[in-house]
Structure 1
Amino acid sequence: MRDSAHLDTSEDAERAVRATLQVLGERLAGGESADLASQLPPAVAQALPEQGSGEPFALEEFYRRVADREGTDDVRQARRHARAVLAVIKSSVTPGQFDHLVAQLPASYGDLLGTRPVQH
């Protein structure tokens, strides 16, 4: 993940994972956050809230929040980081769990999830 996200250090990678999962947890509703966390290593899972708030916000806002949590205003960098984190999550959880995650998010999140090209 460090290479694909252009992260220099393990600390940068941890910050990207934590920021992305915190924002994802804000977007997921109900127990989906806990379900996802159950399939992740404990050190990673702790960044997810036990209960998601299901707060509706657009993909660009997702990336902006990740940037804020990373302590930067570089939204393009945050996008790279978040996409790399989700790619690792996709390969780490069961296909069914990833399908549940995809179902919780609007189609416009395809860019983040690697499920659909973003429409411009």
Structure 2
Amino acid sequence: MQYDALIGQVQATAALPGRGAAKRAVHAVLRTLAERLPDGTARHLFAQLPADLAAEVEGAEGPGAETLKGGPAAERFDLPTFSGRVAWRSGVSEDVATRYVSAVFEVLDAAVAPELMDKVRAALPRDIGQLLPSARVDDPSE
């Protein structure tokens, strides 16, 4: 999937007013997801994203940057912390941030290999994983 298409799909899925808000949402969710995922899973995810998007998110400074650059393994935190970090990074309320997370997860689910999304789902606690599209949450292999 191309960068512009990914941003446009997040904008449409989250019913955002413009591409700037969609871009902020994508960046906030991906940075927070990189903090939560094991290093190898985060690297594989970013390798399947459009190169310019991965470069923008990886080039950002602040919390989570070291994870994308080969730093520490996953932090352990739950949905309220995840949503709180996304809210802080994107400048919205936690309720809006949770909507952002759902929209970005839905677009990622369509954009990357299904096996990788299975690994992402397995690495997340159930409360965050429930924001993934229902086909992933209701996986009969559990």
Q: TM exceeds 0.5?
A: yes
% same residue:
35
Distance 1:53 1:68 in 2: 22
1:59-99 deviation per Cα after TM superposition (whole angstroms, max 9, x unaligned): 11101110000023x11111111110110000001111111
Distance 1:64 1:86 in 2: 16
Distance 2:17 2:116 in 1: 30
Instruction: Find out whether 1:63 has 2:79 as its counterpart.
Output: no
- CA RMSD between the two structures: 1.7
Task: Identify if the C-alpha distance between structure 1 residues 116 and 100 changes in structure 2 by more than 3 Å, giving closer, same or farther.
Answer: closer
Does the Cα contact within 8 Å between 1:20 and 1:82 map onto a contact in 2? yes
Per the TM alignment, residue 107 of structure 1 is displaced from its structure 2 partner at its CA by 1.9
> In the alignment, residue 54 of structure 1 is paired with which amino acid?
A
Distance 2:28 2:103 in 1: 12
> In the alignment, residue 96 of structure 1 is paired with which amino acid?
E
Which of 96, 102, 115 lines up with 2:115 in the alignment? 96
> In the alignment, residue 45 of structure 1 is paired with which amino acid?
A
Helix, strand or coil at the partner of 1:85? helix
Helix, strand or coil at the partner of 2:12? coil
Does the Cα contact within 8 Å between 1:31 and 1:50 map onto a contact in 2? no
- Structure 1 segments unaligned to the other structure (5+ residues): none
Count matched residues: 116
Per the TM alignment, residue 112 of structure 1 is displaced from its structure 2 partner at its CA by 1.9
- Structure 2 segments unaligned to the other structure (5+ residues): 1-9, 59-67
1:111 maps to what in 2? 130
- Matches for 1:10-21 after TM superposition, within 5 Å: 10-21=19-30
2:96 maps to what in 1? 77
Per the TM alignment, residue 31 of structure 1 is displaced from its structure 2 partner at its CA by 1.2
> In the alignment, residue 69 of structure 1 is paired with which amino acid?
R
Which of 35, 38, 54 lines up with 1:29 in the alignment? 38
- The normalised TM-score by structure 2 is 0.75
Distance 2:15 2:83 in 1: 16
- Matches for 1:4-15 after TM superposition, within 5 Å: 4-15=13-24
Indicate the structure with greater helix content. Answer: 2
